[in-house]
């Protein structure tokens, strides 16, 4: 018996440009070796990322400035031809609002769509599958590296996926400076760089300033989801959220708002199986296939 049309479409979603082979997550200093200078190139409107202010400890970059390498002809075509249709500008003069999101997704004012932001989607394989399997949601996919952006653009075009839009930006700069209002129902951080070197722990995305920032962008009751195959990163996340909730100097907590409730029923600890609630990511698959485990945390904004 031949495969179903839906299975055939899902197989196409797995195709596309892949990043270099995954390295050890916890034992080395994060992913991908030493940071490098960004590759030079010609900027198109709304395409090059809004940069964080590195001198500000709250805004230190949580990703590595990798060399972008030589893009393939199909990647260049995707960035040139598809970005105007699926990309969202997040430059210094741009402000992303509920109204602008309805416009870029082609929604009417009466449509109140469930919106998920995924930060650092890598190749976009899992992002495309999640969007395809959940046509009732909208996904804002945030990434800084061009090969991954091109890969997801190609998947979106090839499978006519209408509910994904891409943003090239530093996540903290985007959330703090380029967005206005409570626009999101969930924020996903799936298998981020763990920055395991003690001298670089400050680069981890989950930090007090990040929690404060996303509490202004998530709707009340919105979710923060963090997954990693590095238990050290999950321990760091637990400690950071707990410290936020218990900080005596936190005015938000004293005023009864912006507290994070751990949803322990949705926690995964040392899981060996693929998740049932979302598509498995590339890094997650590599960890599980090599005999590793996965941890996942979900927190609700009160």
| pLDDT tens-digit series, residues 196-252 | 877 667 889 999 999 999 999 999 999 999 999 999 999 999 999 999 999 988 887
Q: Is the pLDDT of residue 293 over 80?
A: yes
Q: What is the pTM of this model?
A: 0.81
Per residue in 267-281, pLDDT tens?
Answer: 999 999 999 999 999
The percentage of residues in the chain with a pLDDT greater than 90, rounded to a whole number, is: 68
d(CA 187, CA 192) in angstroms, rounded, equals 13
d(CA 299, CA 174) in angstroms, rounded, equals 21
Per-residue confidence (pLDDT) for residue 34, from 0 to 100:
33
Candidates 84, 191, 186; CA nearest to 137 is 186
Mean pLDDT of the chain: 83
Catalytic-labelled residue, pool 94, 138, 170, 193:
193
d(CA 3, CA 118) in angstroms, rounded, equals 30
Q: Is the pLDDT of residue 7 over 90?
A: no
Per-residue confidence (pLDDT) for residue 149, from 0 to 100:
97
- Long-range (24+ apart) CB contacts under 8 A made by 100-104 are 101/138, 101/140, 101/183, 104/165
Active site residue 247: no
């Amino acid at each position: 018996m031949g495969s179903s049309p839906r299975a055939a479409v899902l197989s196409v979603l797995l195709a596309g440009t892949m990043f270099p082979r995954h390295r050890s997550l916890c034992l080395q200093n994060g992913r991908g070796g030493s940071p490098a200078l960004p590759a030079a190139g010609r900027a198109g409107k709304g395409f090059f990322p809004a940069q964080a202010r590195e001198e500000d400890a709250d805004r230190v970059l949580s990703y590595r400035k990798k060399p972008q390498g030589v893009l393939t002809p199909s990647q260049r075509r995707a960035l040139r031809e598809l970005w105007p249709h699926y990309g969202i500008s997040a430059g210094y003069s741009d402000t992303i609002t509920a109204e602008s999101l309805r416009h870029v997704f082609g929604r009417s004012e009466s449509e109140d769509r469930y919106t998920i932001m995924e930060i650092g989607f890598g190749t976009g394989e899992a992002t495309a599958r999640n969007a395809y399997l959940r046509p009732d949601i909208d996904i804002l996919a945030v990434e800084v590296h061009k090969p991954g952006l091109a890969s997801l653009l190609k998947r979106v075009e090839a499978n006519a996926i209408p509910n994904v839009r891409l943003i090239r930006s530093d996540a903290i700069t985007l959330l703090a400076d380029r967005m206005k209002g409570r626009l999101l129902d969930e924020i996903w951080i799936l298998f981020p760089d763990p920055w395991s070197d003690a001298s670089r722990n400050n680069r981890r995305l989950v930090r007090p300033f990040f929690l404060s920032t996303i509490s202004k962008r998530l709707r009340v009751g919105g979710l923060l989801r963090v997954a990693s195959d590095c238990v050290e990163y999950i321990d760091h996340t637990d400690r950071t959220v707990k410290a936020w909730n218990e900080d005596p100097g936190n005015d938000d907590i004293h005023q009864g708002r912006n507290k994070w409730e751990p949803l322990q029923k949705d926690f995964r600890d040392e899981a060996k199986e693929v998740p049932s609630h979302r598509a498995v990511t590339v890094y997650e698959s590599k960890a599980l296939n090599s005999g590793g485990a996965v941890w996942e945390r979900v927190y609700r904004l009160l």
